[in-house]
Chains A and B, each alone.
Chain A
Amino acid sequence: MSIELLIEEERKSIKQIEDARTKADKKIADSQKEAQKILDQAIKKEFILKYLQKEEEKVNEEAKKVLNKYKKDVTKIKQIPSNKIQKTVDRIIDEVLKI
């Protein structure tokens, strides 16, 4: 009787370990499936487009700053002091009439 109890207990333990192995294999298999989903997602167009859109917005902001810098330079050109212009005019006149 006692031996049978022990044999039964051993059978249960073997089953328990087998069940644990089955569960373990499923966990690993599930993680591999999930990993593949993650990799597939990485090259999905929607994600890439969204990312690109965000980057484009950043670059457009940068471009605005570039243009603003040029606009400031244009303003400087349009605000050349009149005495500077007059000096230039006189210089040209001198050249025209240099005979």
Chain B
Amino acid sequence: MSDAINSIKNEIKRRADEESKKIISNADGEAQKVLHAAKEKAERIRTETVKTEVTTMRKKIIGSAQLDGRKTIINAKEEALSKTFDKVNEKLIDIANRKDRKFKYEEILFKLIKEAAIGIDEKKIVVGANKKDLSYISSNLSSIKRKLEKELGYKLELTIMKEPRYIIGGIIVYNVDKTKIFNNTLDGRLMGLKDSMRGDISKVLFE
């Protein structure tokens, strides 16, 4: 074989090799691009698909935890308020039983009767109280009546209820036909304050 022929033969082979390599190399590049694009798209799809569900799930679980948490706070505060009012109750019982020397219960009782009398605005009133207080009022009826009339500036007919009330202390006053009633019991006054003072008491206790 001549050198020239050999040379041409080698050139043909060289070109074929080069071309083949180029074709394979380009295909490899293209294949990599296709796979890379698919992986990126798959990640976007996964994230988007799950994103909404995760957001919804998070809102539900965290929301529920916050709700439960707030409930426990409310319950704890209610319990603290309840215990506070229980203590108030106990103290009122001591005051009504004359065990707390800081308070002159008889004076308190008189003021309660006077306030109720003014409120009822009748010349004849009937007074109800617990057993102990009924006994006290009964024993001191004349002096109480006298003092009331002096302070009110008019004559007053005062009768005592026969049946005692089951109350901590204080009085209930009716007019004769029971069309008017003035609840000036310690229990009633405390009950009336429970709602109105709740906000102030909560501030003092919990802040």
For A55, what are the chain B residues with a Cβ–Cβ distance below 8 Å?
Answer: 50, 54, 57-58
Query: A6 and B34: CB pair below 8 A?
Result: no
**Interface of chain A: mostly helix, strand, loop or mixed:** helix
Contact partner, A6, options B5, B50, B108, Cβ 8 Å: B5
Query: A27 and B27: CB pair below 8 A?
Result: yes
**Interface of chain B: mostly helix, strand, loop or mixed:** helix
Interface string of A22-42 (1 = CB under 8 A from B): 011101101110111011011
Q: How far is the CB of B50 from chain A (nearest CB, A)?
A: 5
Query: A96 and B190: CB pair below 8 A?
Result: yes
Query: How many contacting A-B pairs (Cβ < 8 A)?
Result: 194
Interface string of A2-27 (1 = CB under 8 A from B): 10011001101110110111011101
Interface string of A42-71 (1 = CB under 8 A from B): 110001100110011001101110110111
Contact partner, A28, options B15, B34, B83, B206, Cβ 8 Å: B34
For B58, what are the chain A residues with a Cβ–Cβ distance below 8 Å?
Answer: 55, 59, 62
- Residues 53 to 99 of chain A near chain B (Cβ within 8 Å): 55-56, 59-60, 62-64, 66-67, 69-71, 73-74, 77-78, 80, 84-89, 91-93, 95-97, 99
The chain B residues found within 8 Å of chain A, CB to CB, are: 1-2, 5, 8-9, 12-13, 15-17, 19-21, 23-24, 26-28, 30-32, 34-35, 37-39, 41-43, 45-46, 49-50, 53-54, 57-58, 61-62, 64-66, 68-70, 72-73, 76-77, 79-80, 83-85, 87-88, 91-92, 95, 103, 108, 111-112, 114-115, 186, 189-190, 193, 197, 201, 204-206
Enumerate 6 A-B pairs (CB-CB under 8 Å) in ascending A order: A27-B24, A34-B34, A39-B41, A39-B42, A67-B68, A96-B189
Given A9-B13, A43-B49; 10 other pairs, CB 8 A cutoff: A17-B20, A20-B23, A23-B27, A34-B35, A39-B41, A86-B87, A88-B84, A96-B193, A99-B108, A99-B111
